Amino acid sequence: MARRRGRGRVYLVGAGPGDPSLITVRGQTLLKEADVVVCDVLAPAELMDMAPASAERVLVGRGGRRRLDQGAINRLMIARARRGLRVVRLKGGDPNVFGRVGEEAESLVRARIPFEIVPGVTAALGAAAATGIPLTHRSHASSVAFATAQTGSGKAPGGIDWGGLARIDTVVLYMGVRRLEGVVRGLMEAGRSPATPAALVRWATRPEQRLIRGTLGTIAAAARRKGLDPPAILIAGEVAGLGRRLDWFARRPLAGRTIVVTRPRDQSAALADRLRDEGARVIEAPSIVLRPPISSGPLDRALERLGRYRFLVFTSVNGVTRFFERLAGRGLDVRELAGVSIVAIGPATAAAIRSRGLRVAAIPEEFRAEGLLRVMGRRRVRGARILIARAAQARAILPRVLRERGALVDVVPVYRAVLSREGWADVRRALSDGGLDLLTFTSSATVKYFMAKLRGREASKARRIPAAVIGPITARAARQSGLRVIAMPRNYTIDALAEAIVRRFRNSPSGTPRGS
């Protein structure tokens, strides 16, 4: 990471309130070019994935792996910037709202390190958006204050001008959970009625968001009764009684659900994003990661003589991606495929082929090996050379049946699946807390590897959690492992799977989905 001197710079970036997609475009651009990311506990840790793999990652603050005090954080940033590195300092919400950005920027000025401040969506705005509680309102509130219950010394509220605050229509209090009683007392003693509506929002905009409504008189007891922990903010004022019908966040069909996605990382995004959009908390725990085959010899030999084949069969998007990567790597291109009919096992695979400017000769109605055999046609298969480019450990049925029908079949591995433990600690934790609502599987291999990683009593716990699967073969594998399949789409695609899951959970506000 040797960088040119003079290029070193520190970016104090607002990471937004919790949902990682609420960072600004500028913030995201800087993250993608970062050499070092220094992340606060309140900033969404997922954002660190946006930085290049080679970037140094430092988690600071309570619960962070490194407990650095403010001085140590400043020294670390300065030292890196002096080496010519681009340092992104990710702060929860906005850096200028109770973010101590002033102190950090001062030390950068003293050290003559160039810096930039990038704003972010502060927790108050995130909480308002994700609860439907407006901070101002034409008939209820024309002023709003952001205040903190924590004064400079870190002592109980004393330095707060309660009289002044109580005159503002809407008061949003940061860092208030531990001092809630004192805060509401302060406002009431300064003249606000105990009947003033109040709302507490914990982890605003994150899937685990919680909302407690009450009044200044009742909210502290409610928070205690419900065991509300930080981070949360208090919204007090007439507006806190509004928004019940605007609570789009909690009404999303998968709100409050925790779902495990076992699909390999490079393909899981589509499914995980769909489920998140519907409100789910998604644990991405890819059962397998994809690696190049042990030997690329068979693939390379096939690539050198593509013109000999009548059919080229792809059974997955990964197969397509890796096949064409290797083709280009050998200095060849799609012209080698002139005269070869390309067959895809499903619409996603077909789309991957078409995106390379190639026509797909056939897609079976049924997205499995059996369906493929049907569309290729008995007559055309006899005596034909067929190349199947796919995973190293795929099922044997397709080549076997094609050979039985007189075809000359070459099966070449274009990638291989290897066990992965990514995200596994989260799965384990959720399993032992009893906080999992659904497992999802998109192939029989993901079922097999998922079950293989479970230890002792975990397997019986996992069997009590409903599973959604992409198609009948995966369903069979799941059932054989003792899992209970509650959703399977009619079309064996990721989109259809996501829809089937939503349908299953919709109108079943709590507990297990209907009919399970």
Residues contributing to the site for ligand SAH (CB under 6 A): 17-18, 42, 91-94, 97-99, 122-123, 126-127, 174-175, 201-204, 230-233
Give the span between the Cα atoms of 132 and 494, in whole angstroms.
31
Return the closest-CA partner of residue 467 out of 260, 281, 252, 270: 260
- Min dist CB 244 to ligand SAH, Å, is 19
Q: Which is nearer to ligand SAH, 204 or 447 (CB)?
A: 204
- Residue 515 CB-half CA count within 13 A: 8
Task: State in angstroms the smallest separation of the CB of 165 from ligand SAH.
Answer: 16
Minimum distance from CB of 364 to ligand SAH (Å)? 47
How many other β-carbons are positioned within 10 Å of the β-carbon of residue 506? 14
Query: φ and ψ at 320, to 5 degrees?
Result: -65, -50
- Report the DSSP pairing between strands 258-261 and 281-284: parallel
Taking the complex as a whole, the smallest distance from the CB of residue 189 to ligand SAH amounts, in Å, to 22
State whether the Cα torsion 339-345-347-350 is positive or negative. negative
Please check whether residue 405 is in contact with residue 378, taking contact to mean a CB–CB distance below 8 angstroms.
yes
Q: Which is nearer to ligand SAH, 204 or 350 (CB)?
A: 204
Q: CB neighbours of 302 closer than 8 A, spacing ≥ 6?
A: 309, 387, 389, 410, 412
Which residue's CB is nearer to ligand SAH, number 48 or number 439? Answer: 48
Q: How, if at all, do strands 408-419 and 288-291 pair?
A: antiparallel
User: Pick from 200, 219, 222: which is nearest to 209 by CA?
Assistant: 200
Name which of 124 and 394 has its Cβ closer to ligand SAH. Answer: 124
Between 141 and 204, CB nearer to ligand SAH = 204
User: Based on CB atoms, which residue is closest to ligand SAH, 127 or 373?
Assistant: 127
409 burial via Cβ count (<10 Å: 0-12, 13-18, 19+): buried
- Residue 54 CB, nearest distance to ligand SAH (Å)? 28
Looking at residue 403, the DSSP 8-state letter turns out to be H
Q: Give least dist CB 93 to ligand SAH, A.
A: 2
Shortest separation between residue 117's beta carbon and ligand SAH, angstroms = 12
DSSP output for 426-491: HHHHHHHHT---EEEESSHHHHHHHHHH--TTHHHHHHTSEEEESSHHHHHHHHHTT-EEEE--SS
Q: Report how far apart, in Å, the C-alpha atoms of 151 and of each of 98, 174, 175, 226 are.
A: 10, 11, 10, 26
Report, in Å, the least distance between residue 206 CB and ligand SAH: 6
Nearer to ligand SAH, 208 or 266 (CB): 208
Q: Which residue is nearest to ligand SAH (CB)?
A: 93
Closest by CA position to 149, among listed 103, 181, 127: 181
Residues in Cβ contact with 207 at an 8 Å cutoff, skipping those fewer than 6 apart: 255, 256, 258, 276, 279, 280, 281, 282
Minimum distance of ligand SAH from residue 128's CB (angstroms): 11
Instruction: Pick the closer one to ligand SAH by CB: 231 or 346.
Output: 231
Reported as type and span, the H/E element at residue 266 is helix 265-277
CB of 101 to ligand SAH, least distance (A): 8
Measured from the CB atom, is 41 or 418 closer to ligand SAH?
41
Nearer to ligand SAH, 40 or 437 (CB): 40
